[in-house]
Structure 1
Amino acid sequence: MAPHDGLVHLKEYDIKDSNVELIGTDLDHKVKYNSAATEPAWNDGRVGIQPGLLIWHIEDFAVVPVPREKYGYFFEGDSYILLHSQKATSRDPENGEPGTAKKLIHDLFFWLGMHTSQDEAGVAAYKTVELDEFLGGAATQHREIQASPSDDFLALFPRLTIRRGGVASGFHHVESDAAPKAEITTLLRIFKHHAAPRGRDSVLVYEVDPTWRSLDENDVFILDKGDKIWVWQGRACSPMEKAKAAQVVHDMTLAKHVDVEVVAQTESRSRAVARELGGDVDSGGEEGEFHAARPIRASAARADEGEGVRKLFRLSDASGELAFDLVGEGESVSDENLDGNDVFLLDDAGRVIWVWEGRGASRAEKAIWLKVAQAYVKRLQSEDGNSEAYLTPIARVREGSESAAFLKAIRV
């Protein structure tokens, strides 16, 4: 998404560009740690100490905690940092039975809304690196994009809501949903998504363009007109989506008393919703069908759009110059290919791009990991013609602290 024409201040972040130049530069690790040691957000007595989920958003270049009651609620004009910590359970070497939890393992996510500003995205990226330093440098880092979240990210939330707007931040301001409006027309799409790592379904509430072309018969939609709320149930929607819509409407009507009407697509009355959204009697065609692509890409779709083949590359400066070479693809890729003296990039058939850092990798190899991943993505776009490659989630793990998702990807 290109910056809006005429912007005088700092531009809106273009996800196709590298906003993360601060990651992997010559910044010294000690400087980062010292900075982290004075960051109030990391020194609240919970970070790195207690298991669970913590979320912050970036506001005026600062890391601001998100109230726990707002967890799972994101604005597309903002950038967020998430820390998920869980106990690592050791195993009894004699019988293989689970033992006691001896330490915490951490997953760090920086989530970039599609209309976040350049300053917010940069601060989120830098502060994620800083928090990793604070945690001892062993966390798995994930770059998340609103339009194509990883399964690991979605698995954190049984319910996820993405709304338009955001906080005023730095040089960039997005209108708040709380701002007065002459006429309210808000359309929410409610749909189910399967999060692979934990094998469960998440329900997403996603604000979409308020037009009849956004309707899809597989999902449920909530149309808020200010003085009335409509619930439009697609003919193929699931009971889970209907239940979530009822909960959302309940929350919406707590603050205001308005008329609510629920209509199924199969009812003739459902045409009233299409008309409210600018449609006419012919909207949806003769069969009354409505089809609209979902606003996020699932991991299966990413794999289908990619080459569908896993590839493993080595980043090494053993020759005196940094080299990036293919070392295996398809069934030949395994964890036996990994060498603790170097950095490796695993393209998991377009689902996720993983970067693995060996303990003995040089500082130069480690410093450039994200730049190499982004350069690889750009190559996929230009040479292989995969225009959607920039949406692929990117994650980094370190030898000895590999996440379960990475081990599953490398050992397939």
Structure 2
Amino acid sequence: MAPNAGLVHLKEYDIKDSNVELIGSDLDHKVKHASAETEPAWNDGRVGLTAGLFVWRIENFAVVAVPKTSHGQFYDGDSYIILHSQQIKTDSTTDADKPPKLTHAIHFLLGAHTSQDEAGTAAYKTVELDSFLHGAAAQHRELQASPSGAFVALFPRLTFRRGGVASGFRHVGDPEDREQDEEVVTLLRVFKHPSAASADSVVVCEVEPVWESLDEGDVFVLEKGKGGKIWVWQGGRCSPMEKAKAAQVVHEMKLAKRVDVEVVSQAESRSRLVVTMLGGGEEDGFGVLKAPRPVDNLGLGGPGCEQGGEGHVVASCAGIRAEAPRRRGEQRGISHPHRQGARGLRELRISTCYHGGMRGPARLWRR
């Protein structure tokens, strides 16, 4: 019997004259670009034309620019879009009269408690921004719990606070907040991100205000109630850089709220006061204090992502367009970066980011 006896060949479909025939064509790109030009956020005269860092927050399905003074400050109930444009070095003599050539990287950040609507809007608007930039941007999906090293490197200090647009969050220092925050306890954790490119890049995260959140490897800033003293708890194994960065955070809080600050080391007996204020009893807080960091180093969207690794899925957009449509339940070929040559990966370009339920980001690539 022949080896192919009994096999049924899949029906071949012709997409010509169908509603998907023009996907990926020049006309398709022109239509998407024209649609993207109607978004006011991209038309400030700087986006796509000048190098720099641009940050937007999704507010009621709208893209709202974040002031430069607030860059690096994010809230766990929101979704954000961040564009990093860098100028490519060229021959200054021959290209002096030409507009600067730019490379673009778009990061859309999803807060831990952002809504599905906001997350979807951020993803859609990220693709739209890429269309506005004529498809020249690399796109990265960032999660609050595991931002990539490349994303962390964009900010000298990365801060995650509780709240968001949906919860009616107001910035600390607003008159309305001063009346309502009399009994609010806030605990901030200051630490260096393991995969940060910059040696002095730190992350500041608001954590649960309980003594179990303390970790001897980091620095914590405790603020209890309206007009209360700010306490700085330095873990026994925290680094000098983390102490210095925490001091900067506290200095800004002190100027804004005009309160006293007290710094205690874990080795001091006074450090028991912080444990008590965080709900600890007489026998709590002794021994080794260890708590998982709210932000880890599992983000895989940094400069090393081209090397590939477990959990990254690579597919070909061109192949998807060329192949016939598949029936439900039939799968296309999926390959892993570590099974391909490095040269082939470098020739690929990120088209769109999707998440397939894995801890790391999944990407759809296009040749």
| Alignment TM-score, normalising by the size of structure 1 | 0.69
Residue 273 (structure 2) aligns with: 272
Task: Give the distance between the partners of 1:311 and 1:248, measured in 2 at CA.
Answer: 36
Report the AA paired with residue 218 of structure 1. G
Secondary structure, counterpart of 1:44 in structure 2: coil
Contact 2:210 2:278 in 1 (8 A): yes
Residue 281 (structure 1) aligns with: 282
Contact 1:232 1:263 in 2 (8 A): yes
Residue 69 (structure 2) aligns with: 69
Task: Give the distance between the partners of 1:156 and 1:64, measured in 2 at CA.
Answer: 19
Residue 57 (structure 2) aligns with: 57
Contact 2:220 2:234 in 1 (8 A): yes
Secondary structure, counterpart of 1:84 in structure 2: strand
Report the AA paired with residue 247 of structure 1. Q
Task: Give the distance between the partners of 1:394 and 1:328, measured in 2 at CA.
Answer: 11
Task: Give the distance between the partners of 2:216 and 2:300, measured in 1 at CA.
Answer: 20
Correspondences of 1:222-371 after superposition (within 5 Å)? 222-226=221-225, 227-285=228-286, 288-299=287-298, 309=310, 313-315=314-316, 316-317=319-320, 318-321=322-325, 324-327=332-335, 330=338, 332-336=340-344, 356=350, 370=353
Structure 1 residues 47, 398: closer, same or farther in 2, change over 3 A?
farther
Contact 1:78 1:113 in 2 (8 A): yes
Task: Give the distance between the partners of 2:334 and 2:31, measured in 1 at CA.
Answer: 34
Q: Quote the offset at 1:396 in angstroms.
A: 5.6
Task: Give the distance between the partners of 1:89 and 1:101, measured in 2 at CA.
Answer: 12
Contact 1:228 1:260 in 2 (8 A): yes
Secondary structure, counterpart of 1:41 in structure 2: helix
Task: Give the distance between the partners of 1:70 and 1:188, measured in 2 at CA.
Answer: 17
Secondary structure, counterpart of 2:184 in structure 1: coil
Secondary structure, counterpart of 1:166 in structure 2: coil
1:148 equivalent to 2:151? Answer: no
Task: Give the distance between the partners of 2:119 and 2:340, measured in 1 at CA.
Answer: 37
Structure 1 residues 59, 310: closer, same or farther in 2, change over 3 A?
closer
Residue 392 (structure 1) aligns with: 360
Structure 1 residues 134, 158: closer, same or farther in 2, change over 3 A?
same
Q: Quote the offset at 1:101 in angstroms.
A: 9.5
Contact 1:151 1:299 in 2 (8 A): no
Residue 167 (structure 2) aligns with: 173
User: Highest CA radius of gyration, 1 or 2?
Assistant: 2
Task: Give the distance between the partners of 1:59 and 1:53, measured in 2 at CA.
Answer: 20
Contact 2:312 2:362 in 1 (8 A): no
Contact 1:233 1:263 in 2 (8 A): yes
Residue 214 (structure 1) aligns with: 213
Residue 13 (structure 2) aligns with: none
Task: Give the distance between the partners of 1:256 and 1:267, measured in 2 at CA.
Answer: 27
Report the AA paired with residue 83 of structure 2. L
Task: Give the distance between the partners of 1:256 and 1:314, measured in 2 at CA.
Answer: 52
Q: Quote the offset at 1:220 in angstroms.
A: 0.3
Task: Give the distance between the partners of 2:276 and 2:346, measured in 1 at CA.
Answer: 58
Give the share of equivalent positions with the same residue, in percent: 53
Residue 5 (structure 2) aligns with: none
Contact 2:313 2:336 in 1 (8 A): yes
Contact 2:110 2:119 in 1 (8 A): yes
Task: Give the distance between the partners of 1:114 and 1:267, measured in 2 at CA.
Answer: 35
Residue 12 (structure 2) aligns with: none
Q: Quote the offset at 1:33 in angstroms.
A: 2.1
User: What's the RMSD between the two structures over aligned residues?
Assistant: 3.3
Report the AA paired with residue 127 of structure 1. K
Query: Residues 318-367 of structure 1, C-alpha deviation per residue, up to 9 Å, x if partnerless?
Result: 4524653245664654223788xxxx7xxxxxxxxxx745xxxxxxxxxx
Residue 88 (structure 1) aligns with: 88
Contact 2:191 2:218 in 1 (8 A): yes
1:46 equivalent to 2:15? Answer: no
Corresponding pairs, count: 319
Task: Give the distance between the partners of 2:342 and 2:192, measured in 1 at CA.
Answer: 33
Q: Which has the higher strand share?
A: 1
1:138 equivalent to 2:132? Answer: no
| Alignment TM-score, normalising by the size of structure 2 | 0.77
Task: Give the distance between the partners of 1:242 and 1:280, measured in 2 at CA.
Answer: 27
Query: Residues 186-227 of structure 1, C-alpha deviation per residue, up to 9 Å, x if partnerless?
Result: 00000011445x453411111000000000000000000131
Query: Residues 76-126 of structure 1, C-alpha deviation per residue, up to 9 Å, x if partnerless?
Result: 11111111000123589xxxxxxx995101001111111112222122111
